[in-house]
Amino acid sequence: MPHSIAGNCTFDGSGTVDCGNATITVGGNFDNSGQTTWIKGTSTYILTGTTKTLKQANSTGSAFYAVTISGTYDIDTAITIHVGGGLCNISGTLTDSANSTLRTLTGTDLTISGTLSLYRVFLDSSGKTLTIYNTASVTVASRIQIDRGMNIVAFGGEAIINGEFITSPRVMTLDFDGDLDVTGNFTQKAGVTITGSDVITVGGNFLIEGVSGTVCIFNGPDLDVAGTAVAHYTTATNSNASAGTKVTATDNCTDGTGNTNWDFGGVATILPIIMNYNQKMRS
């Protein structure tokens, strides 16, 4: 059942709010940080206001089931944006004017076709998908960390990380279908597969940190790295790194073919064999 609230929507009572399966459109500020008991049900909140605020308590007990931000909202003091079960769709603008706090997006598929501008982001959504469409503008001022085995992270538009990009050491696949510009360091931890056909630009250092028994896969994105570029326990395929630093991939790495400006140590290991063979032929 649809409901519409033209002004602010604030829940701060000691009772229970059961959202059921309602669709609630809010034209003002949204705040459920003070509600004692919040039952999200299968409801959807649609936030349509202009220059408004979004505030939640730092617990899954204040989670949306699904939320669409089609207006312009700024995060107000909340550390975590909880969405559990449904879709978090940012077709408008979500910003963080405080510009100093870690924001965690949890429990949801996240679709961005509008503008997302945060200071520091921790994506904690097991088995979920982050999709950034080619109409999107995504800016993270400090660091983005992807955790909890997100299966596919598809960047269809350009994402700008004014700081560090890091994955957690978990089995997951990140599919970059669009450019990623990281001004700081880029770190791919053990177990992570990265695929794509566009360009990852790294202003700092590039590190793939596979380990024995838990290798990394790097399949396709081209690289433009300003700092050092090193890979450990990695299988790399179809990556052109000639725009920047050569990738040193001599520590238990595999050349899956199609790579440019990657050093797998092939000359150093093959040359002595050829020299020894030639010496035997002469004798």
Could you write out the DSSP letters of every residue in the chain?
Answer: -EEEESS-EE---SSEEE-TT-EEEESS-EE-TT-SEEE-TT-EEEE--SSEEEE--SSGGG-BSEEEE-SEEEE-S-SEEEB-SSEEEESSEEE-TT--SEEEEESSEEEESSEEEEEEEEEE-TT-EEEE-TT-EEEEEEEEEEETT-SEEEE-S-EEESSEEEE-SSSEEEEE-S-EEESS-EEEETTEEEEESSEEEESS-EEEE-BTTB-EEEES-EEEESS-EEEESEEEES-B-TTSPPEEEEES-EE-S--BSEE-SHHHHHHHHHHHHHHHHH-
- pLDDT value at 12 more than 80: yes
| 47 vs 171: which has the higher pLDDT | 47
Mean pLDDT value of segment 26-47: 90
Going by pLDDT thresholds of 50, 70 and 90, the confidence category of residue 167 is confident
CA distance 110 to 274: 54
Q: Tell if the pTM clears 0.85, that is, is over it.
A: no
Mean pLDDT value of segment 150-158: 58
- pLDDT value at 116 more than 70: yes
What distance lies between CA 46 and its chain's CA centroid?
A: 23
CA distance 156 to 99: 25
Question: Residue 54 is part of which domain span?
Answer: 2-282
Instruction: Indicate the residue type of 241.
Output: A
- pLDDT value at 238 more than 60: yes
Closest by alpha carbon to 54, among 110, 21, 92, 14? Answer: 92
pLDDT digits (tens, 9 = 90+) for 44-86: 999 999 999 988 876 667 778 888 999 999 987 655 666 766 7
Is 205 within 8 Å of 229 (Cβ atoms)?
yes
Determine how many CB atoms are found less than 10 A away from the CB of residue 248.
16
CA distance 224 to 199: 7
- pLDDT value at 247 more than 90: yes
Q: How many domains does the chain fold into?
A: 1
For residue 278, the model assigns a pLDDT of: 44
Locate 187 and state its tokens: 């770190």
Mean pLDDT value of segment 21-46: 90
Phi, psi of 267 (to 5 degrees): -65, -40
For residue 178, the model assigns a pLDDT of: 73
| 143 vs 17: which has the higher pLDDT | 17
For residue 164, the model assigns a pLDDT of: 85
CA distance 72 to 222: 34
Mean pLDDT value of segment 203-222: 95
For residue 228, the model assigns a pLDDT of: 98
| 54 vs 148: which has the higher pLDDT | 54
For residue 80, the model assigns a pLDDT of: 60
Mean pLDDT value of segment 215-239: 96
